[in-house]
């Protein structure tokens, strides 16, 4: 059981940090927050875990009937389009003349992006398939829970780190926040475009 916990935690951390699409999805939402940046990452992690659990249930219930490759290919394109939308929104927000960061964390958008990422791509490889390799369903469940915890921890930490690199208040702070929002939003558009073309 201890192995399942540590393996799941490590896989969740690695999975969240290894995907530039994950970071690109959270960065504009966290950069647009004035405080509580970490909440955008936590909401993404919760949504991602929910998406992975949905795929896990489908895989366990429908094993052979589920065309995972086709689902993965289509869902990755949806993720690409969603990244372009989030990035375009961020560029629009940063370009507004009265730009000021929001006092909230865009939790709904971050949760939706996380859920979409949990349903798409390699989540079923890192999060779900290893659960089938454990001797007991209980160990598989512990692995899956730890995978979700690792993803939540990784993205919460990433969003909190974005908050640490932005200065407090004043005109200089606003310029840094605007620049961070531009940079992270443009990265989201580029990565989303790459996913659509892949």
Task: Encode the chain (198 residues) as per-residue pLDDT tens digits.
Answer: 788 888 888 888 888 888 788 888 888 888 877 777 888 889 989 998 898 888 777 777 776 676 666 766 677 788 888 889 989 988 988 888 677 766 655 668 888 888 888 877 665 666 677 777 788 888 888 888 898 899 899 999 998 888 887 766 555 677 788 888 899 899 999 989 988 887
Decide if 176 contacts 99 (C-beta within 8 A).
Answer: no
pLDDT for the residue 165: 78
pLDDT for the residue 84: 92
pLDDT for the residue 167: 63
CA distance 176 to 184: 12
Distance of CA 44 to the CA centre of its chain: 5
The two tokens of residue 21 are 């699409």
CA distance 53 to 33: 29
CA distance 6 to 11: 8
- Residue among 182, 154, 176 nearest 163 (CA): 176
Rounded to 10 deg, the angle between the 68-95 and 171-197 helix axes is 150
Q: Is-above-0.85 flag for pTM?
A: no
Q: How many CB atoms lie within 10 A of CB 12?
A: 29
* Rg of the chain taking only CA atoms, in angstroms: 17
Decide if 110 contacts 43 (C-beta within 8 A).
Answer: yes
pLDDT for the residue 66: 64
């Amino acid at each position: 059981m201890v192995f399942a916990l540590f393996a799941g935690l490590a896989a969740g951390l690695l999975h969240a940090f290894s995907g530039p699409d994950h970071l690109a999805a959270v960065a504009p939402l966290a950069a647009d927050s004035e405080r509580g940046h970490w909440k955008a990452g936590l909401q993404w992690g919760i949504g991602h875990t929910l998406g992975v659990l949905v795929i896990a249930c489908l895989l366990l219930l429908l094993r052979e009937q589920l065309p995972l490759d086709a689902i993965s290919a289509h869902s990755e394109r949806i993720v690409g389009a969603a990244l372009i939308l989030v990035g375009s929104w961020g560029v629009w927000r940063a370009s507004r003349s009265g730009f000021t960061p929001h006092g909230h964390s865009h939790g709904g958008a971050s949760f939706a992006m996380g859920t979409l990422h949990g349903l798409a791509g390699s989540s079923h490889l890192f999060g779900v398939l290893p659960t089938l390799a454990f001797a007991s369903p209980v160990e598989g469940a512990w692995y899956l829970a730890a995978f979700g915890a690792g993803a939540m921890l990784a993205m919460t930490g990433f969003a909190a780190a974005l908050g640490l690199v932005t200065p407090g208040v004043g005109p200089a702070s606003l310029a840094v926040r605007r620049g961070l929002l531009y940079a992270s939003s443009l990265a989201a558009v580029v990565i989303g475009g790459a996913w659509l073309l892949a």
